[in-house]
Structure 1
């Protein structure tokens, strides 16, 4: 919508699938090379080799850097291109290639730490490292390993010759200017390869051992390769409330990725939530399967994307019956499983779970009748984090229930400028009167909670980070 030069260029090329793939990395069918920002980078590398035959190295850098920077400003700064530009700028100072490579990676991680484990950084950076250290014989094994680590599959066409792959990628970029799409990954189909956590950790350890025994100083290579398996090395308990619009979707991940449970998967009338939000997030978080998908009730804003999620990722069990156990080792229960309810909202599954000394309560769209039943049934329900019922509607979260639970934090999942007026002013007023911290996806975007040995941290998509709780006496 912008009237900037970048906006006008986007509108000019958006009807060309070839240009959208080569210039912006956007295409209908996934491509590892496009994800890696490889087309433009491969074109620059091939052009650089041609210039080196007639010009000195520094002159080559001066010729290539301005158009590369201009390209990044006009179209996109993929991680691969930014690190390539940093490498060339550092080389102008006279540093040797290996030192310049190391410094460029470190500078990139300082500038964009959120992309530390991205395929678009790791894949081109490690291929360049193989070239600098004259270990090009390792490129095939490296490309195969990265595919398995990141995607759990192996495309045999991508482990062919490195030089041929680079030429084909450069050709696909050049042909895009003429609206010609060159499919590179067409030779052989992908072969699914289960990437078990133990196998990934063993592979990283063996690679580290090899690098040490060979007395190579590039130990940064090992750290980069371990990053894709970081979910299996993560000691934190995570709760992600996704910014799904007017609906609910929460992901709960146990430390070291021992289990992953999703609570609800909302549909959306204006987009495919599974394709646009849920499945890309699971992939980015390194989640390969869900142990359970709990459906609080069958409303579209809670269950509309369940089938699409099942089509996109392995789901061990879908839980719709409150008496069905959740297959995790920590306490995760559906409260009041035998109650009768006057309507579907009041019959929502009441998911309660606890970890690291913190209790979490996700009541779906259950309202005041269910809240009164909870107060009558339980003498106490230790809750640190409450997901407000019915998106913060006045039909739930009555003052007496909030006082009884006395949560430290209340989360609200609602769409921006939704037609229902969620969250309601009455609920906000009740929370303000109790001085209870609250966050809403309509204002803060995705909300992320992480706990470790009693510490509870909060992070929002808008950039707020805080420590909500610490162990007693600390």
Structure 2
């Protein structure tokens, strides 16, 4: 595999190739700036197959939203290690399904975490119980997600928008939904919230408007209703779904709706890990698989 050979290169070689690849990939994207500073707002939509995991950085502070399945924890930990991240200001467990929190117990065991945000719902699955055991063992501060609460991460502000009830029949609707505002740009993270939760957020009158929408439930047909998409009015949508997944995610109806509203869509099954960088006025999109192709071309030339 090209990616494996690339990782065996010296650090200096990696730096030069990454610089070359980023220049190749960013040209033509909606552009903020080619340079990345510590104050920029950066989101890594990490490819964890048929699961969910997002890393957010701003002002030298970091948040991890979900972890993917347990077997993906090694890849996520390696990703954090490569970025030299030893401490997470926040970890958000959107809801207790294994494709979102399955590997979280391993991450919490190895990385220092200041605060965990999670919904007030449990699920007696092995992965959830392991995670709770580590939280208790390491005495990590845990906050129940409460709609309307506002927090900061570096120079950004994030607001909890859901859940808005504690009586859902479907665990997905307990998903923690977060909107980040960074200067003039905004990002919405939705977990696996379904239509009921989406309708509640629209009816509550929240400011849902966001430049970038993390599409709920891997692009399932039970999420991303039209009224919610209208309220968010994104320019870009990101979907986390595995290649050849058994659920057919993302669903054709969701893709059609996004297309009808002229939303540019990026999916991890096609792009690999997706990185969006905002300088507060605009943003750039970098796709892992384009970097891999650029690296392959570069290696052939040298």
TM range (shorter): 0.7 to 0.9
Counterpart-to-counterpart distance in 2, 1:388 and 1:292 = 21
- Among candidates 198, 201, 216, match of residue 371 of structure 1: 198
Counterpart-to-counterpart distance in 2, 1:77 and 1:331 = 35
Q: TM-score under structure 2 normalisation?
A: 0.74
Counterpart-to-counterpart distance in 1, 2:265 and 2:6 = 36
Establish whether residue 301 from structure 1 lines up as the match of residue 103 from structure 2.
no
Greater RCO, CA 8 A, separation 6+:
2
- The answer (yes or no) to whether the contact 1:291–1:327 under 8 Å persists in 2 is no
Listed one character per residue, the Cα deviations across residues 263-317 of structure 1 (whole Å, up to 9, x for unaligned) are 111114xxx2111x11111111121210111000000011111110011211112
Deviation at 1:235, TM superposition (A): 3.3
Alignment of 1:63-462 (within 5 A): 78-80=8-10, 112-113=17-18, 234-255=38-59, 257=60, 259-268=61-70, 272-275=71-74, 277-320=75-118, 321-323=144-146, 326=151, 328=153, 330-340=156-166, 341-378=168-205, 380-462=207-289
- The answer (yes or no) to whether the contact 1:445–1:461 under 8 Å persists in 2 is yes
1:159 — aligned with what?
A: none
Counterpart-to-counterpart distance in 1, 2:278 and 2:6 = 35
- The answer (yes or no) to whether the contact 1:356–1:451 under 8 Å persists in 2 is no
1:50 — aligned with what?
A: none
- Structure with bigger gyration radius: 1
Counterpart-to-counterpart distance in 1, 2:45 and 2:162 = 24
Gaps of 5+ in 2: 21-34, 119-143, 292-302
1:118 — aligned with what?
A: none
- The answer (yes or no) to whether the contact 1:292–1:326 under 8 Å persists in 2 is no
| Aligned partner of residue 403 in structure 1, secondary structure | helix
- The answer (yes or no) to whether the contact 1:266–1:273 under 8 Å persists in 2 is yes
* Runs of 4+ displaced beyond 3 Å: 75-80, 108-111, 324-327
1:215 — aligned with what?
A: none
Deviation at 1:342, TM superposition (A): 2.5
Counterpart-to-counterpart distance in 1, 2:44 and 2:201 = 25
Listed one character per residue, the Cα deviations across residues 393-432 of structure 1 (whole Å, up to 9, x for unaligned) are 0000112321222111111000110001100000011111
- Greater strand fraction, Structure 1 or Structure 2: 2
1:317–1:346 distance in 2 versus 1, CA, 3 Å:
same
| Aligned partner of residue 345 in structure 1, secondary structure | helix
| Aligned partner of residue 291 in structure 1, secondary structure | strand
